[in-house]
Amino acid sequence: MRNVRLSKSFRDEFARLLAQGVRFGPRVVADKNRRVVDVIENILAPNPKRPSDPLLGICAYHVAKTPFVVLYDFDDSELRVHLIIHAKADRTLIDLSAVVW
């Protein structure tokens, strides 16, 4: 199984996105958090998907029943989660070189 490495940029943005969801209630926030963590640990780490985002040149995975897309890359030993974005975000504004690890 691959090790999972989450960037500081991912952690900060995920916290910000979840904080926006507080208006929908704590159960909704907890559910979205659980879904994203589950996808990273139980779907992407063991069996990452290869298709990449054509604009960003990195793998993108839309987490079902959430508005979130996880941006990542991987090799045989590690899954590197760069960012999480809203599915409707303007991807032309994303600068992967600004990701902080």
Residue 4 has pLDDT above 90, yes or no: yes
In 10 A of CB 14, how many CB atoms? 20
pLDDT in tens, 49-92: 877 788 899 999 999 999 999 999 999 999 999 999 999 999 99
Residue 20, pLDDT above cutoff 90: yes
The pLDDT value recorded for residue 43 is 96
Calpha distance 17→69 (Å, rounded): 11
pTM of the shown model: 0.94
Contact call for residues 13 and 85 (beta carbons, < 8 A): yes
Contact between 82 and 73 under an 8 Å Cβ cutoff? The reply is yes
pLDDT at residue 25 greater than cutoff 90: yes
Q: 59 with 65: CB under 8 angstroms?
A: no
